Amino acid sequence: RRRWLESHAVPMRNTTGDIIAMLSVTRDITERKRAEESQRLAARVFGEAHEGIVITNADGIIIDVNPMFCEITGYSRDEVLGQNPNILQSGNHSPDFFQGMWNSLKTHRHWQGEVWNRKKNGDLFAELLSISVLCDEQGQIIHYLGLFSDITESKQQQQLLELLAHFDPLTRIPNRTLFTDRLLQALAHSKRDQSLLAICFLDLDGFKPVNDEFGHDVGDQVLIEVADRIKQTLREADTVSRHGGDEFAVLLSDLRSIEESKLAISRIHQAILEPYLINEQTITIGVSTGITVYPLDDSDPDTLLRHADQSMYQAKLAGRNSFHLFDANQNQQDIDRHKQVNDIKTAFLGQEFSLYYQPKVNLKSGQVVGVEALIRWVHPERGLISPLVFMPIITASHLEIEVGNWVIKQAWQQLAAWHNQGLLLEVSINISGYHLLSPGFIEHLDATLATQPQLASQFFQLEILESTALDELSAVNRVIKACRNQLGVKVALDDFGTGYSSLAHLRHLPVDCVKIDQSFVRDMLGNPDDFAIVESVISLSDAFHREVVAEGVENHNQVNVLLLMGCELAQGFVIAKPMPADDIAGWTQGYQPHSSWSMLVEPNISTEKALITIFRIELRQWLNQIHACLDSTHQPVWPVMNSKKSHFGRWLKRAQQHAIYPIQILEKISKAYKELLQHGIALKHHVIKGEFETAQHYFSDLQIIHEDIDQLLLNM
């Protein structure tokens, strides 16, 4: 083995001084050599290391630093010797931070971490510091050794990355990511304190034109200014963020009322609306805001933001510079509706829809002239569902058009099948206003008609709701003309009389037929106003040469009165309920008009005579209605008991004034009618008091008085 040896040699002399021997002592100094080597190395390391090194005594007083320490901190060695390292402190760390450091040094004799310190010139720098505790053999602390490297640059890069990840580079306000973080915190906070939290979504109005007109740089300036202005109206705890483009979100926490959130948004709006002076240009823009308030809207963060966004669109719809508060109930309705539409769509695609047909007859001749196609949803569990339940849900949608086209196709094929059997009916279908006015309606109808070229299109009729025609008179007019002139199909105005200007419709819409709405037919006996409407629809149709059909005819009295008024075509339960297509042929063959019809209607009956007959029917119906009220098991529906309000009473008065009939007879009738009404009123009082027996006596009297009046009328 190689060893380091140290030799000392001493010459040994005799008495004369001559060297006679040499005394040599040699020691093995390998250990010492090694120690020196490593000390030298340590010194070089200390001197040349790229880390700063600081050594303190047990009291934390600096006893040495290396040149790199001086280079990084800017202090010379002499300046720091004898000082505490806390001369470097930046004030950026809390006392907790140092407490943690000392705890770790005590228990683990080591600590490592990132520290922001300050150089001699005041600049901040970041260091990755590791501190070790040096002890003697007895375990007493003798030194602290600190080793650090300057990581300011990488730290800055990291900060920049964080900034980019959380802030909008243009406006320097939080971006969507940071907003979501803050929203989560704010939600937790709101839960704890039971305060309200408003989530607002803002979208600038008229920002794009600014970009287009003044350029993107100006646009950017506006956005920066907008962000600043919003920030200025907010409190410390609130957040504004940019979500791209001209969209911003605002989080308002700790609210006590919804009103507060509205006030805050109004302030923001005002600030944004102030003109912007950029590059000597004066620019103005607007803003629309949607607000949703937690926990009234108890949704997850994504949904809250979406609700605010949706409401912002509502605000836009309402006009510029407005805000809209999200309505959680309304939203539930929208969701329900969406589901309903989907259900209907699925049912339609699953062929659960079917057409029923209701006969339309000529009351006088007994001829079955046609059928109306009425859509039904044949639901596997719920049974037959009326169009009144599901058609309104899909109104003005693409699905409505699809369904409508299916109805056209189905009814047209059915018509062909009947005609092939020799059943020469007319088929009418109901068409929605939206479908009628949709682009391509005429072309589509034309194409469908062409699938049965042998079939004459005048057997096909479209029923248009009068309320539809009202909205877009000229557009509807155009389509009706095209249907009739180009395609040869007929057109009817459905539910006639329910619109606001029926007379105008009759004049301006070239329809073949009007259908008197069933609500008037239902109440025309007993309600003089409804009677007057039915009467005038019939005479107007006559004047304009339109066919007239009464809908919803339910009883024989109505049939007779309609006949007396000159309306011969009718549809209603008294004739037949809507039925499946397969039943129509059999029904038509077996159809007989009721024997009582037209018994009262003599040929060429005069108008006056007809009216008298109508009053006889009305009075009989009046009596029947009173009779029904004697049935204690039913809720009574009382007829009119006031001669000023009854059809007959009004006529009587007029007839007496104009002396159309012999005055004595009229006076007799008038007296009897008064008596009739008085008895009716008395009867009503007894029924109300539950005295059904007494009421019954009154009814017997009523019958006698009624019989008298009926005879008098018959003899007129």
Question: What is the binding site for ligand C2E (CB under 6 A)?
Answer: 358, 374-375, 386-388, 391, 404, 407, 430-432, 463, 494-495, 518, 551-554, 571-573, 578
Nearer to ligand C2E among residue 185 and residue 386 (C-beta)? 386
Q: Are strands 490-496 and 513-516 parallel, antiparallel or unpaired?
A: parallel
Nearer to ligand C2E among residue 252 and residue 431 (C-beta)? 431
Point out which span in 13-21, 74-82, 220-228, 461-469 binds Mg ion (CB under 5 A).
461-469
Report the C-alpha gap between 191 and 28 in whole angstroms: 80
What minimum distance in Å lies between the beta carbon of 701 and ligand C2E?
A: 34
Of 127, 205, 495, 568, the one binding Mg ion (CB under 5 A) is 495
Report the C-alpha gap between 464 and 431 in whole angstroms: 6
Site residue total, Mg ion (CB under 5 A): 5
Nearer to ligand C2E among residue 319 and residue 580 (C-beta)? 580
What minimum distance in Å lies between the beta carbon of 274 and ligand C2E?
A: 52
DSSP 89: B
Q: Where are the alpha helices (DSSP H) in 515-635?
A: 518-523, 528-543, 556-565, 581-590, 607-629
Q: Where are the alpha helices (DSSP H) in 109-151?
A: none
> Rule CB under 5 A: is residue 358 a binding residue for Mg ion?
no
- The amino acid sitting at 130 is S
What minimum distance in Å lies between the beta carbon of 642 and ligand C2E?
A: 27
For tokens 């809390």, the residue is 94
CB neighbourhood size of 157 (10 A): 11
Nearer to ligand C2E among residue 268 and residue 375 (C-beta)? 375
> Rule CB under 5 A: is residue 466 a binding residue for Mg ion?
no
What minimum distance in Å lies between the beta carbon of 619 and ligand C2E?
A: 23
Report the C-alpha gap between 47 and 69 in whole angstroms: 10
Q: The tokens of 181 are what?
A: 């973080």
Report the C-alpha gap between 15 and 502 in whole angstroms: 160
Is residue 1 classed as helix, strand or coil in its secondary structure? Answer: coil
> Rule CB under 5 A: is residue 463 a binding residue for Mg ion?
yes
Of 66, 175, 430, 571, the one binding Mg ion (CB under 5 A) is 430
407 interface partner picked from Mg ion, ligand C2E, none, CB below 5 to 8 A per type: ligand C2E
Long-range contacts of 634-638 (CB under 8 A, 24+ apart): 636/687, 638/684
448 interface partner picked from ligand C2E, Mg ion, none, CB below 5 to 8 A per type: none
Binding mask 537-566 for Mg ion (x = CB under 5 A): --------------x---------------
Is residue 294 classed as helix, strand or coil in its secondary structure? Answer: strand
Report the C-alpha gap between 63 and 78 in whole angstroms: 10
> To 10 degrees, what angle do helices 216-233 and 207-214 make?
140
> Rule CB under 5 A: is residue 502 a binding residue for Mg ion?
no
Report the C-alpha gap between 491 and 468 in whole angstroms: 14
Point out which span in 86-94, 398-406, 455-463, 589-597 binds Mg ion (CB under 5 A).
455-463
Handedness of CA 626, 628, 631, 633 (dihedral sign): negative
Alpha-carbon torsion, ordered 103, 107, 111, 113, to 10 deg = -50
388 interface partner picked from Mg ion, ligand C2E, none, CB below 5 to 8 A per type: ligand C2E
For tokens 């209607």, the residue is 601
Nearer to ligand C2E among residue 463 and residue 568 (C-beta)? 463
Report the C-alpha gap between 107 and 88 in whole angstroms: 25
Report the C-alpha gap between 417 and 355 in whole angstroms: 14
Q: The tokens of 163 are what?
A: 């900034």
What minimum distance in Å lies between the beta carbon of 386 and ligand C2E?
A: 4
For tokens 């659960």, the residue is 352
432 interface partner picked from ligand C2E, Mg ion, none, CB below 5 to 8 A per type: ligand C2E
For tokens 């970041």, the residue is 126
Point out which span in 38-46, 429-437, 531-539, 631-639 binds Mg ion (CB under 5 A).
429-437
221 interface partner picked from Mg ion, ligand C2E, none, CB below 5 to 8 A per type: none
Nearer to ligand C2E among residue 549 and residue 640 (C-beta)? 549
Cβ contact 572:554 at 8 Å: yes
CB environment 15-38: b (16+ within 10 A), e (fewer): eeeeeeeeeeeeeeeeeeeeeeee
What minimum distance in Å lies between the beta carbon of 392 and ligand C2E?
A: 9
Nearer to ligand C2E among residue 276 and residue 348 (C-beta)? 348
Point out which span in 257-265, 352-360, 439-447, 463-471 binds Mg ion (CB under 5 A).
463-471
573 interface partner picked from Mg ion, ligand C2E, none, CB below 5 to 8 A per type: ligand C2E
705 interface partner picked from Mg ion, ligand C2E, none, CB below 5 to 8 A per type: none
What minimum distance in Å lies between the beta carbon of 558 and Mg ion?
A: 15
What minimum distance in Å lies between the beta carbon of 494 and Mg ion?
A: 4
Nearer to Mg ion among residue 226 and residue 570 (C-beta)? 570
Point out which span in 35-43, 99-107, 322-330, 459-467 binds Mg ion (CB under 5 A).
459-467
Report the C-alpha gap between 15 and 21 in whole angstroms: 13
Report the C-alpha gap between 370 and 425 in whole angstroms: 5
Nearer to Mg ion among residue 150 and residue 494 (C-beta)? 494
Nearer to ligand C2E among residue 230 and residue 553 (C-beta)? 553
What minimum distance in Å lies between the beta carbon of 249 and ligand C2E?
A: 43
At residue 598, φ and ψ (nearest 5 deg) are 65, 5
Nearer to ligand C2E among residue 276 and residue 434 (C-beta)? 434
Nearer to ligand C2E among residue 253 and residue 430 (C-beta)? 430
What minimum distance in Å lies between the beta carbon of 403 and ligand C2E?
A: 7
Nearer to Mg ion among residue 312 and residue 427 (C-beta)? 427
Give every CB contact of residue 622 below 8 A, 6+ residues apart in sequence.
526, 639, 640
Nearer to Mg ion among residue 80 and residue 513 (C-beta)? 513
What minimum distance in Å lies between the beta carbon of 593 and Mg ion?
A: 22
Report the C-alpha gap between 648 and 645 in whole angstroms: 9
> Rule CB under 5 A: is residue 494 a binding residue for Mg ion?
yes
**R_g of the chain, CA atoms, integer Å:** 50
What minimum distance in Å lies between the beta carbon of 404 and ligand C2E?
A: 6
Of 105, 125, 123, 107, the residue nearest 115 (C-alpha): 125
Of 185, 163, 176, the residue nearest 253 (C-alpha): 185
483 interface partner picked from Mg ion, ligand C2E, none, CB below 5 to 8 A per type: none
Q: Are strands 569-570 and 547-550 parallel, antiparallel or unpaired?
A: parallel
Residues making contact with Mg ion (CB under 5 A): 430, 463, 494-495, 551
